[in-house]
A and B are shown apart, each in its own frame.
Chain A
């Protein structure tokens, strides 16, 4: 399947999705759109509704109401058509343990409607891409967790879907395997594949995601492009990180809380983060220089004054409005 990364229309459009489980609402009026070739992190605490959302987008669950369009196809009305455009990587991988790695991917290719010749080429290419060519004849059940995860990914992408849905793909992987996964995701997005990946560990998504959906208690709290996102529509505000010398050396009047108040008095958008204050605004080099000058003149014991990269953690905390990392 070929894709056009420059396609301006969203590949996924979710409209007013509501999903109920017995006694509770798992998703409440969730709406968003994903642009082609983006990698979107779906984050939120345990029980936020991430897996339900992924399964609904994959048309594996029927929501109470709402509509999901995959490349213009109504997934609720034509799930089989929508499935042709999708690959789904479940959190438990879903491998046939008794088949060899090659047989697993070949079965997936043939099941997805590829011909024998197409399947041969696709299996070879995909196993090369996930770096499993040295494990072709090894049983899936005997592979390491990282290798099984890559094999499951190979199954999900062997038919070159437009959209890849991955549920907690890095769960339980060691740092090396996580880095490999990040590389793979970036490579797939570079080919034009749109990826929606769920996780409750922000650090693992940091390296490759271009946008983030924050889900909390079934509500979509935020859908935000990250700084490096190719789909970002507007230039992000700059973040400055300011640290002060210890308060007991300089006096209570010069602690971070006081600086926070001072910044707000100056009309600056600021917030406290651990041992630093983050100031956000449209601050060019000149404005930064002026701010530093004012701080020093006012007697603030500035220890650090540096640009700060907006991390997933910041976006997440902004969205859920609380000072805690998801569990």
Chain B
């Protein structure tokens, strides 16, 4: 941070717009009043500090986390609607300055109230927890709030989503997606991560801090792109590795009878996560034709640096997932040295996700690059509903079922037959080829040549 927060022009501006002396005086009074009303209406003879502990956490979640995420997102949405964002993009403010300024300036009000609530959480938890555990709870809540705010801002920036409810929902979903595994740990006291046994709260806090850090990095990168600083995809590759390692460590494969099979399973699950990450990034990344044209021109000029600068992260994910799937397949093959790989092992290879992901990727890009499709996101949603729900239900009793379900996700994979395996490989590949052909045709028609010149 080249400028400390009070001297950051963006922090000063957003702080001034969102905070006032009246709030400074009234808010603690309102928080006290809200807590008093909760305590007064409680009829179950629960300890006063316990009530305050839970009420303050609920207050922090709804006000600081959720309302703060709305405020953080609005700090950008308002810029888009008022037409001031172009001026900001041309300013001399760096990406970190813009991130800190907006993240803490626009949410200063909610953090002011949040500080009171965190204090209440800390004081009320002292009667139930050790002082270090109380501090951990406070730290975890603060990290969670920063993470949600950062993700909310990142989503507002990434697809230029001016539709706030959608942005809020997406932010929340992503937060849940990121934090759900740690919440879903079965053992309430300890958990095992990559064979390491540790206390659950410690693991949850470390995960939260790491994810909070990555969400800030993600926001920083999104801001870098908005402020015309050239990005290379290494940060996304770094996040993928972190996420895959983190997720892989949490998985406990059912078939881990023999040590090396356990590692193949680890790799397979990791590859599956890598394929999933393609969809996450595809949702966030801009899918404009200019990027494709720039890559195409850079490719013609053999300009590798320019290609790297413009390479969308979803393509990085595809390449990463494909490489990981190949490695998994190779390890799997080498593991069965006598050359007789069981059928279920073939059906389980994560490489079978590839045609589905390529098909979906091509479809999404096709929808976005076709000029007369006005709502490509809506069309994508409908297409996925048809491909993954309708076709799935329609062909449940038919051999065509395997054309619409990736084999590794087939519930009865242990009973797979050769014809089913053939359908499960050939038809998805055919669909992928068809989708890529359609995308290629659209590109050739609208973007590769000289377009028509009249509006």
- Using a CB–CB cutoff of 8 Å, the interface residues on chain A facing chain B are 20, 22-25, 28, 47, 55, 58-60, 62, 64-65, 79-80, 83-84, 86, 88, 90, 92-99, 103, 107-108, 110-113, 155-156, 217-218
Q: Closest Cβ of chain A: how far from B363's Cβ, in Å? A: 18
Q: Closest Cβ of chain B: how far from A66's Cβ, in Å? A: 11
Tell me the bound Cα distance from A91 to B418 in angstroms.
65
Chain A residues with CB below 8 A from B258, complex form = none
Chain B residue, CB-CB nearest to A156: B87
List 5 contacting pairs A-B, 8 Å CB cutoff, sorted by A. A20-B451, A55-B86, A65-B297, A103-B16, A111-B92
| Contact between B84 and A99, CB atoms less than 8 A apart | no
| Contact between A96 and B13, CB atoms less than 8 A apart | yes
Q: Which residues of B, 1-39, contact A by the 8 Å Cβ criterion?
A: 9-10, 12-13, 16-17
Chain A residue, CB-CB nearest to B294: A62
| Contact between A93 and B13, CB atoms less than 8 A apart | no
Q: Which residues of B, 280-299, contact A by the 8 Å Cβ criterion?
A: 289-290, 293-294, 297
Tell me the bound Cα distance from A192 to B153 in angstroms.
40
Q: Is B446's beta carbon under 8 Å from chain A?
A: yes
Q: Closest Cβ of chain B: how far from A279's Cβ, in Å? A: 35
Q: Which residues of B, 408-455, contact A by the 8 Å Cβ criterion?
A: 446-447, 450-455
Per-residue interface assignment for chain B, residues 273 to 316, with 1 indicating a CB less than 8 Å from any chain A CB and 0 otherwise: 00000000000000001100110010000000000000000000
Tell me the bound Cα distance from A80 to B230 in angstroms.
10
| Contact between B450 and A25, CB atoms less than 8 A apart | yes
Chain A residues with CB below 8 A from B89, complex form = 60, 83
Q: Which of A24, A79, A112 contacts B454 (CB 8 A)?
A: A24
Q: Which of B9, B10, B92 contacts A84 (CB 8 A)?
A: B92
Tell me the bound Cα distance from A195 to B91 in angstroms.
19
Q: Which of B9, B228, B289 contacts A111 (CB 8 A)?
A: B9
Q: Closest Cβ of chain B: how far from A251's Cβ, in Å? A: 46
| Contact between B13 and A112, CB atoms less than 8 A apart | no
Q: How many residues of B contact A (CB 8 A)?
A: 36
Ranked 5 nearest A-B pairs via Cβ: A113-B92, A111-B91, A110-B9, A22-B371, A79-B228
Chain B residues with CB below 8 A from A111, complex form = 9-10, 87-88, 91-93
Tell me the bound Cα distance from A84 to B446 in angstroms.
35
Chain A residues with CB below 8 A from B290, complex form = 20, 62, 64
Tell me the bound Cα distance from A103 to B12 in angstroms.
10
| Contact between A23 and B90, CB atoms less than 8 A apart | no
| Contact between B9 and A94, CB atoms less than 8 A apart | no
| Contact between B90 and A60, CB atoms less than 8 A apart | yes
Chain A residues with CB below 8 A from B48, complex form = none
Tell me the bound Cα distance from A309 to B310 in angstroms.
51
Q: Is B227's beta carbon under 8 Å from chain A?
A: yes
Tell me the bound Cα distance from A121 to B89 in angstroms.
24
| Contact between B228 and A80, CB atoms less than 8 A apart | yes
A-B contact count (CB 8 A): 102
| Contact between A23 and B452, CB atoms less than 8 A apart | yes
Tell me the bound Cα distance from A80 to B227 in angstroms.
8
Tell me the bound Cα distance from A23 to B83 in angstroms.
25
Tell me the bound Cα distance from A59 to B447 in angstroms.
21
| Contact between A60 and B9, CB atoms less than 8 A apart | no
Chain A residues with CB below 8 A from B294, complex form = 62, 64
Q: Which of A83, A97, A99, A107 contacts B90 (CB 8 A)?
A: A83
Q: Which residues of B, 80-119, contact A by the 8 Å Cβ criterion?
A: 82-84, 86-93
Chain A residues with CB below 8 A from B42, complex form = none
Tell me the bound Cα distance from A25 to B293 in angstroms.
13
**CB-CB under 8 A for A112 and B91, given A20-B447, A23-B446:** yes
Q: Closest Cβ of chain B: how far from A221's Cβ, in Å? A: 14
Q: Closest Cβ of chain A: how far from B406's Cβ, in Å? A: 33
| Contact between B84 and A95, CB atoms less than 8 A apart | yes
Chain B residues with CB below 8 A from A83, complex form = 89-92, 228
Chain B residues with CB below 8 A from A103, complex form = 13, 16
Known: A20-B289, A94-B82, A155-B87. 16 other contacts (CB 8 A): A23-B371, A23-B451, A24-B453, A24-B455, A64-B293, A64-B297, A80-B227, A80-B228, A84-B92, A88-B87, A90-B87, A111-B87, A111-B91, A113-B92, A156-B87, A217-B454
| Contact between B9 and A107, CB atoms less than 8 A apart | yes
Chain B residue, CB-CB nearest to A217: B453
Tell me the bound Cα distance from A79 to B92 in angstroms.
11
Q: Which of A22, A23, A99 contacts B17 (CB 8 A)?
A: A99
Q: Closest Cβ of chain B: how far from A117's Cβ, in Å? A: 13
Chain B residues with CB below 8 A from A97, complex form = 82
**CB-CB under 8 A for A25 and B451, given A94-B82, A94-B84, A99-B17:** yes
| Contact between B297 and A47, CB atoms less than 8 A apart | no
Chain B residues with CB below 8 A from A22, complex form = 289, 369, 371, 446
Chain B residues with CB below 8 A from A217, complex form = 453-454
Chain A residues with CB below 8 A from B455, complex form = 24, 47
| Contact between B297 and A112, CB atoms less than 8 A apart | no
Q: Closest Cβ of chain B: how far from A184's Cβ, in Å? A: 19
Per-residue interface assignment for chain B, residues 127 to 150, with 1 indicating a CB less than 8 Å from any chain A CB and 0 otherwise: 000000000000000000000000
Tell me the bound Cα distance from A79 to B89 in angstroms.
10
Q: Which of A60, A80, A83, A98 has the most CB of B within 10 A?
A: A80
Chain A residue, CB-CB nearest to B90: A83
Per-residue interface assignment for chain B, residues 40 to 67, with 1 indicating a CB less than 8 Å from any chain A CB and 0 otherwise: 0000000000000000000000000000
Chain B residues with CB below 8 A from A218, complex form = 453
**CB-CB under 8 A for A28 and B9, given A92-B83, A103-B16, A111-B88:** no
Q: Is B345's beta carbon under 8 Å from chain A?
A: no
Q: Closest Cβ of chain B: how far from A100's Cβ, in Å? A: 10
Chain A residues with CB below 8 A from B88, complex form = 111
| Contact between B13 and A107, CB atoms less than 8 A apart | yes
Chain B residues with CB below 8 A from A24, complex form = 451-455
Chain B residues with CB below 8 A from A88, complex form = 86-87, 90
Q: Closest Cβ of chain B: how far from A104's Cβ, in Å? A: 9
Chain B residues with CB below 8 A from A107, complex form = 9, 12-13
Chain A residue, CB-CB nearest to B9: A110
Tell me the bound Cα distance from A64 to B296 in angstroms.
10
Per-residue interface assignment for chain B, residues 222 to 249, with 1 indicating a CB less than 8 Å from any chain A CB and 0 otherwise: 0000011100000000000000000000
Chain B residue, CB-CB nearest to A59: B228
Tell me the bound Cα distance from A16 to B290 in angstroms.
16
Q: Which of A20, A55, A84, A94 contacts B87 (CB 8 A)?
A: A94
**CB-CB under 8 A for A99 and B87, given A20-B451, A25-B450, A217-B453:** no
Chain B residue, CB-CB nearest to A86: B90
Chain A residues with CB below 8 A from B450, complex form = 25
Tell me the bound Cα distance from A55 to B228 in angstroms.
14
Tell me the bound Cα distance from A81 to B91 in angstroms.
10
Q: Which of B9, B13, B293 contacts A20 (CB 8 A)?
A: B293
